[in-house]
Amino acid sequence: MSLRHALLALISAEPMTGYTAAKHFEASVGFTWYAPSSQLYPELRRLEADGLLTANELQRGTNAKKREYQLTAAGEAELRRWISELDAPQRERDVTRLRAGYFDMASASAIRDQLRAHAEHYRQELVGWEAMIEHIESRATRLIARRLASRPAPEHDEIVAWKVYAYRGLVARARMEIEWAEDGLELLERLRPADRDDLPSTGPLIDGVATEQSA
């Protein structure tokens, strides 16, 4: 049940429509809690029905409307309650490590592809997360600015500090995953020294057929 709290947290910065919430979601809470926009709209309705948000119907052009949501007092209370809540640790659900435990049944190239993709994925994420840290520290994004504006100045440093702390956690995880994948690639070299199907990446090559015929 964290989706609703992610939304409450997001909207606590400023009122939003479902559409803008979806945009901002991707670029903030979405880093720690993924959700597609198709999940957001119904959840916003539910939050409204539960009295945690109120909606403001705004005219848009001549024939269209949009609903702008904002936190109610109950919504803010629920958000604060949830933030302070101590809940059960997350369940382990780690496909990559589950699979890695059985890599003896895979070809060297399949293992290599997976570990490289794993490392590459986290390298990308790392870039994004590190960029986020800088944006937050410089208080440059509109949303952070809006959030800070709604809170007394002495709190600003702390608000920023906790957000940076959360992102540093993601960065730490990314680095760990990259290292782990690289260790795996090394292990692969050690276990299957003969099986080097690496290709020098110097232009397009036709391959995959030759091996079957040369054997």
Q: Decide: is 24 part of the binding site for a second copy (CB under 8 A).
A: no
List the single partner that 213 binds among DNA, a second copy, none, CB under 5 to 8 Å by kind: none
Task: Draw the binding track, 111-140, toward a second copy (x: CB under 8 A; -: no contact).
Answer: --xx--xx--x-------------------
Report what 172 binds from a second copy, DNA, none; CB cut-off 5-8 Å by kind: a second copy
In sequence order, the β-bridge partners of residue 70 are 54
H-run or E-run covering 64: strand 64-71
In one letter, which amino acid is 83?
I
Which one among 73, 105, 194, 199 touches a second copy, defined by CB under 8 A? 105
Q: What CA–CA distance (Å, rounded) separates 148 from 14?
A: 10
CB-based contacts of 136-144 (< 8 A; 24+ apart in sequence)? 136/160, 136/163, 136/164, 136/167, 137/164, 143/13, 143/14, 143/24, 143/28, 144/13
- Closer CB to a second copy, 44 or 67, in the complex: 44
Nearer CB in complex with DNA: 92/104: 92
Which residue, 20 or 70, is less far from DNA as judged by CB? Answer: 20
CB 157 within 8 A of CB 139: no
Binding flag, residue 50, DNA (CB under 7 A): no
Q: Does 62 bind DNA (CB under 7 A)?
A: yes
Question: Taking contact as CB under 7 A, which single stretch among the options 38-46, 113-121, 131-139, 141-149 is the one that binds DNA?
Answer: 38-46
Q: How far apart are CA 44 and CA 51, in angstroms?
A: 11
Q: Which does 61 bind (CB under 5 to 8 A by kind): a second copy, DNA, none?
A: DNA
Q: At 84, phi and psi to the nearest 5?
A: -85, -10
Out of 26, 48, 187, 189, point to the residue binding a second copy (CB under 8 A). 187
102 binds, among a second copy, DNA, none (CB under 5 to 8 A by kind): a second copy
d(CA 211, CA 209): 6
29 binds, among a second copy, DNA, none (CB under 5 to 8 A by kind): a second copy
Nearest approach, Cβ of residue 69 and a second copy (Å): 18
Nearer residue to DNA within complex by CB, 20 or 96: 20
Dmax (CA) for the chain in angstroms is: 73
71 sits in which H/E element: strand 64-71
